[in-house]
Structure 1
């Protein structure tokens, strides 16, 4: 029984500290699949990873502000073919479609290969802001699907932004 507990702890540690390996496994699981199938796998993995007490605190913080509504120019982007090691970015435009100021309290990417940048000041009703996701393809090969959770003061937070790329050697 003791050895099972030790193995479980070792497995959890390995999962916690293996971002690149985890991402490689995601790539392997989506190789040869069509977009819908690959997206379903990526979403399932992202949902499993989102069970985190820190995320619950971020949602609570975002929803503690008066709620509003949001519209995105898009929530999914494809970079298409990019070269291994290339650093790319995409800007997701957000519009406050509600009556209260929109506050982006945090943007949490699924991995360290993705770095967010976003409008920090409140976005007034009818105004626009932006969320930029920067992706470093250095540690990837083939089709890659990434996601970032956006914690905002809307009813159904977090909002998920996704992108994909085909990393060529």
Structure 2
């Protein structure tokens, strides 16, 4: 444990900087990677950011979807409809999929009270066989963030 405490600051420093070779001279140039590290917010940061705006309420057309049987390698997508049922504009700040096989798209503009927006999850089945369950977290200005959307598929060869 003591060794781990000694190593962590060193690992943090190495993770913040990187080196590359300058092609004009045989010297190393150190680049600051602090901005890149700051670009990866934690779940807690995402929730705080979303809830910093006036809260509202939302209704989903569904929170779970079944694609059923699909062929391996097929690209499928599903649109989840969101309705702002509150009195403040609904602002979806980010949709974070559980893995790289799922790509989200969502309504970026504020969704006014009574209006509808969309969250689309696009799934690439290339690396899977059999029954698969996936999810995406939706960060928005609602009390119970993140909202979790799920889908499943039975991938056939």
**TM-score in same-fold range (> 0.5):** yes
Query: What residue is the counterpart of 2:135 in the other structure?
Result: 147
Equivalent residue runs for 1:48-127 within 5 Å: 54-127=42-115
Q: Separation in 1 of the partners of 2:41 and 2:103?
A: 21
- Corresponding residue of 1:132: 120
**What do the CA deviations read for 1:1-35 (whole angstroms, capped 9, x no partner)?**
89xx7xxxxxxxxxxxxxxxxxxxxxxxxxxxxxx
CA–CA separation in structure 1 for the residues paired with 2:45 and 2:142: 15
When the two structures are superposed, what TM-score results if normalisation uses the length of structure 1? Answer: 0.70
Q: How far apart in 2 are the matches of 1:115 and 1:74?
A: 18
The aligned length equals 123
Q: CA deviation at 1:53?
A: 6.3
Structure 2: distance between partners of 1:165 and 1:64: 36
The alignment's C-alpha RMSD in Å is 1.9
Cα distance in 2 between the residues matched to 1:93 and 1:127: 10
Q: Which has the larger radius of gyration?
A: 2
Gaps of 5+ in 2: 5-39
Please, what TM-score do these two structures have when normalized by structure 2? 0.75
Q: What is the CA distance between 1:140 and its match in structure 2?
A: 0.1
Higher helix share: 1
Question: Structure 1 or 2: larger strand share?
Answer: 2
Secondary structure of the residue that 1:121 maps to in structure 2? coil
The question of 1:162 aligning with 2:150 is answered yes
